[in-house]
Amino acid sequence: MRILFPIFALSLITAPCHADTVWLINGDRISGEIIELAKSSLKIKTRYAATLSLDLSAVKSFQTDAKQHWEVNLTPRSAVIAQNERQGYVSIDGQTVAIQDLALLPSQATWKKSGLLETTLDVDNDKNRKEKLHINGELNLESKHWRHSLAAETKRDKERDKLTEDTLELHYTLDYLINTHWLIRADTSYRAEGVDTTSHYWYLAAGPGYRLWGEGKDKLDAVFAYNHFWVGNRKFDLELSAWSFALDYQQFWLDEKLETFTDARIAFPDIDIIDYISNTSSGLRYHLNHSIHLSLKYDYNETRFSLGTLKDSSYVLGAGVDF
């Protein structure tokens, strides 16, 4: 009895309260309680090594011993996860599901916040070679089903101490994520320019989108939308509609130190005098650390009329902070 009691007590102490099990590609097996599963990592709480964070690329499969709240392709459901022999997959009610399409739901809804603020030197690619003060800010909020993006930009151009450009742009985008691929997007943009004369440009757009590829921060979204434009100045006001196609690309490299991005849109108005309107912004950011980055951006705008073409392009060099 004196020998059996310590052995029995020790077994009670070392036994985990949950019997969730994770199998790794290298053949190891870890038991404990799975407390978090995100796009790129899995966290399991063990009794012998506290909490371990595992890269999903190292996980072969896993199983749980109790029903929990999961999201499968952004669809909430309660389920018990079973092991699957296929690498990178699990079984739910007899169906094979990729681990990267799973997420363990927290007790309360959470929002991811991110943003940036940049101050840049803008050099126009034309004969005058103007220099501009350029300030750009972004704020993003994202949950499992919703994405909010608010961007503001201002440009002030002085040539020989004379103000030649004063521009303000505001842009808001709302995405509803149906699943990991399909989404519905609504966005609006307002642009005002004024020095000698004041003009304004405003549009509303809505339509379906599809994520061609992407995981985590990386993405390539294609969006097809119906747009309505209001354009005017002191002399005239113009209202028109258009169908548009847009590509939204973002990818991180070198352990997320280097970021490449492109936002391209082409619209086909329903009036004969304008063939199309295209806007493209692309570039890269190098993140020195989690708070500071350097950026290089190229903007190109083109409007094709029945009588000719208007083009405008610029390079943007700058530095900013992330939050």
Residues 159 and 270 both lie in one domain? yes
The total number of structural domains in the chain stands at: 2
pLDDT at 235: 78
The reported pLDDT for the residue numbered 123 is 62
Residues 63-84 have a mean pLDDT of 88
In this structure, what token pair is assigned to residue 23?
């199998």
**Which two structure tokens, joined as six digits, stand for 153?**
């930009």
Percent of the chain with pLDDT over 90: 46
Verify that 18 and 131 share a domain, yes or no.
no
Is the domain of 210 the same as that of 249? yes
CA-angle at 131, arms to 128 and 137, nearest 5°: 135
| Pairwise pLDDT comparison (74 vs 286), residue with the higher score | 286
Give the range of the structural domain holding residue 182, as residue numbers without chain letter: 112-322
Q: Categorize the per-residue pLDDT at 205 as very low, low, confident or very high, splitting at 50, 70 and 90.
A: very high
Same domain flag for 31 and 145: no
Q: Which of 57, 83, 104 is the last residue of a domain?
A: 104
pLDDT in tens, 212-247: 987 667 889 999 999 998 988 877 788 999 999 999
CATH number at residue 184: 2.40.128.130
116 and 75 housed in the same domain: no
pLDDT value at position 7? 34
Answer yes or no: are the C-beta atoms of 231 and 238 closer than 8 Å: yes
Regarding whether 181 and 72 lie in a shared domain, the answer is: no
Closest CA to 12 of 47, 61, 36: 47
Report the C-alpha gap between 204 and 141 in whole angstroms: 20
pLDDT at 287 over 60: yes
Are 156 and 279 within one domain?
yes
* 188 strand-pairing partners: 172, 204
152 shares its domain with 182: yes
Of 61, 80, 104, the last residue of a domain is 104
The whole-angstrom separation of Cα 43 and Cα 54 is: 6
pLDDT band at 285 (very low <50, low <70, confident <90, very high): very high
Question: In this predicted structure, what is the pLDDT of residue 111?
Answer: 76
> Quick one: 306 and 285 in the same domain?
yes
pLDDT at 14 over 60: no
Is this structure's pTM higher than 0.75? no
What are 128's two structure tokens? Answer: 């005058």
Q: Which of 75-79, 128-132, 142-146, 283-287 has the highest mean pLDDT?
A: 283-287
pLDDT, the chain, mean: 85
Check whether residue 35 and residue 85 sit in a common domain: yes
pLDDT (0 to 100) of residue 46: 86
Please report, as a single letter, which amino acid is at residue 102: L
Last residue of a domain, one of 60, 76, 104: 104
Mean pLDDT, to the nearest integer, of 304-319? 88
The alpha carbon of 103 is separated from its chain's Cα centroid by a whole number of angstroms, namely 17
32 lies in the same domain as 49: yes
Residues 30 and 123 in one domain: no
Of the candidates 28, 92, 34, 24, which has an alpha carbon nearest to the alpha carbon of residue 56? 24
3-state secondary structure string across the chain: CCCHHHHHHHHHHHCCCCCEEEEECCCCEEEEEEEEECCCEEEEECCCCCEEEEEHHHEEEEECCCCEEEEECCEEEEECCEECCCCCEEEECCEEEEHHHEEECCCCCCCEEEEEEEEEEEEECCCCCCEEEEEEEEEEEECCCEEEEEEEEEEEEEECCEEEEEEEEEEEEEEEECCCCEEEEEEEEEEEEECCCEEEEEEEEEEEEEEEECCCCCEEEEEEEEEEEEEEECCCEEEEEEEEEEEEEEEEECCCCEEEEEEEEEEEECCCCEEEEEEEEEEEEEECCCCEEEEEEEEEEEEEECCCEEEEEEEEEEEEEEC
Banded pLDDT at 48 (limits 50, 70, 90): confident
Per-residue model confidence (pLDDT) at position 197 = 64
